[in-house]
Each structure stands twice: as structure tokens, then as C-alpha cells.
Amino acid sequence: MLHLHFGAESYTPEHVLAAVRAAQQAGKPVVYTVHDLENPQLADQSGHVRMLDAIIPAVDVLVTLTPSARDEIAERWGREAVVISHPTLLETGAVTGRPRHGRRIGVHLRDLRPNIDAVGVVTTLVRAVAELRAAGGDVVGIVRLNESVRDEETARILEHLAGDGVEIVRAARLSDDDLAAALADLDACVLPYAHGTHSGWLELCYDLAVPVIGPRGGHFRDQHPSDYTRYDIGDPLSLAAAIEHATLPAWSAPGSTARIAEVAARAVDRAAQRVDVRAAHADLYRDLTTHRSAA
């Protein structure tokens, strides 16, 4: 059994297709989980599309994370994909944030990979926070990025974009525990993606009961629709409205009794989901190997 996930952009489509064919000729079925219909590591998607055009028709079974991505795969390639949702990313007990006055809206630009519109998102956030504060809202924006980034010129531009109520924090890459703690302190998290398909970041926010504000593109919303509010990069009014909407639930407030209860309830659900995800993969592998043996 060969199961492909991501990272194929390091190879040519011909190379990956040859590996798929070799596995199949050796009697090993091939599964491909389509995480990315748009590759977040690439600005130019043409090579990624060629990769998808090579792999998707060739493998034995396709898996993806959301029903809407399944529908796009069916429309573009005429193949049915099995939907298996992304499981929890937390291995230990979840943190629930510290109570604070006002609302803290965060965006993490990480190492400025190609799908992050850092300048567009931060400019939009600065103006959105200004709108909310002018209307009497107690709102602050926290923008984080790693000390080591792929685009130092953009990082320097960002240093000049902070406005009243928006702080730019540049520091070493956070450990998993420190990242969870930083996210848990937020009332909402803004995704800075110019393109993409699914988001592990969104999954972590869901585990921590931190509402997500994200772009209209991709299939992000289909991961957890009840926690997702859309906005448009470049439209501060849409982001201001999204912040107001996303922070309405009682559990959006860090450290609140409602947040603590919500995180605990999600931990139970996600533990059960992890069992289901493992079982779904085991069933898929069993069916494939049984079918291959019978053939």
C-alpha cells in the first residue's frame, strides 16, 4: 500500500506518476489524499495542476477532507473521492486562554509562504480595527510573524504598517505548546491566505474554540462552517463586520466559562472523531488489499 499526501511539488509529475505505476505493477494499491487543489507553497499553480492531472486519474482511491473539495474533484476529473475529515491536532489538554478586557484579533503570517498575502491582510486589519475603534469598540489586532521568513523585504514593509490598536510581533518560531497558548488568547483568528484549499491552522483553532475569519476561496469554510466567517482581503469593512460576527458567541471570549466548557466538549467529540478517522482509513486499506488480492 502506498498513500500519498503532499510534498509532491519537490518532484516532476512524470517522476511521481512513475512511482505510482511502479507500486501498482508490484501489486500495491495507491491512495492519494487531495489536501491541496491549490498548493500553498507555490505562487504559480500551473505545475501543481499538471501534477494533479497526472496523479488523480492514475491512483486507485482518492481521499479528501471536505464535501465541497470532493465535488470539485468530481467536476474537474470525473472521479469520486472519499471524504475523511481532518482529525484533531492537539495531543495534550487544550488551553483556554486568559481573560482580558476588549477583543483580541490575531493573524499569524508564519514564515511568509507564497499563499500568504501579508501586506494585503495587515493593511485590511489595520483599517478594520480603526473602523471598530472609531465606533467605540474595544478591539486590538495582534500580527505575528517568524523571525526567519522567506521574504525579508515584505517583513520590513510590515514593520511600518502597524497602526493604532494593531501590534506587529516578530519572534522565533513558536513551539506547538506556545502556539496553542497564543491562539487560545484570541477572540478570533484571521487567516491570511490569498489562495489554498484546506487549513491545518483552522483545525487547531477549532480544537481551541477560537472562531476563524477567513477568505471566500478554497474549501476552508467547509471544514467547520459554524466557526467560520468570511471576509475579503482589501475590504476593511468586510473584515470589521466579520470580527463583529465572529466574536458574538459567548465561547469566543478567552478564559471565559463558556470557552472552557466549549473546549472540553470539543475535546470529547474530537477524540471520538479520531477513532472514526483511523477506522475509515483501516476500512479503506482493507477493502483495497482484499480487492487487489482477489484480482
Architecture of domain 103-255: 3-Layer(aba) Sandwich (3.40)
Q: What local confidence, expressed as pLDDT, does residue 91 receive?
A: 77
What average pLDDT does range 154-168 have in this prediction? 93
Give the pLDDT confidence of 253-263 residue by residue, as tens digits: 999 999 999 99
Distances (CA, A) of 199 to 6, 47, 85, 89: 13, 21, 12, 11
Whether pTM exceeds 0.85: yes
The pLDDT tens digits for 180-228 are 999 999 999 999 999 999 999 999 999 999 999 999 999 999 999 999 9
Domain boundaries of the chain, sorted by first residue:
2-85+271-294, 103-255
Residue 157 is given by DSSP the state H
CA distance to 153, 234, 263, per residue, from 129 (Å): 25, 13, 27
Percent of the chain with pLDDT over 70: 98
The yes-or-no verdict on residue 292 having pLDDT over 70 is: no
Residue 189 in 3-state DSSP?
strand
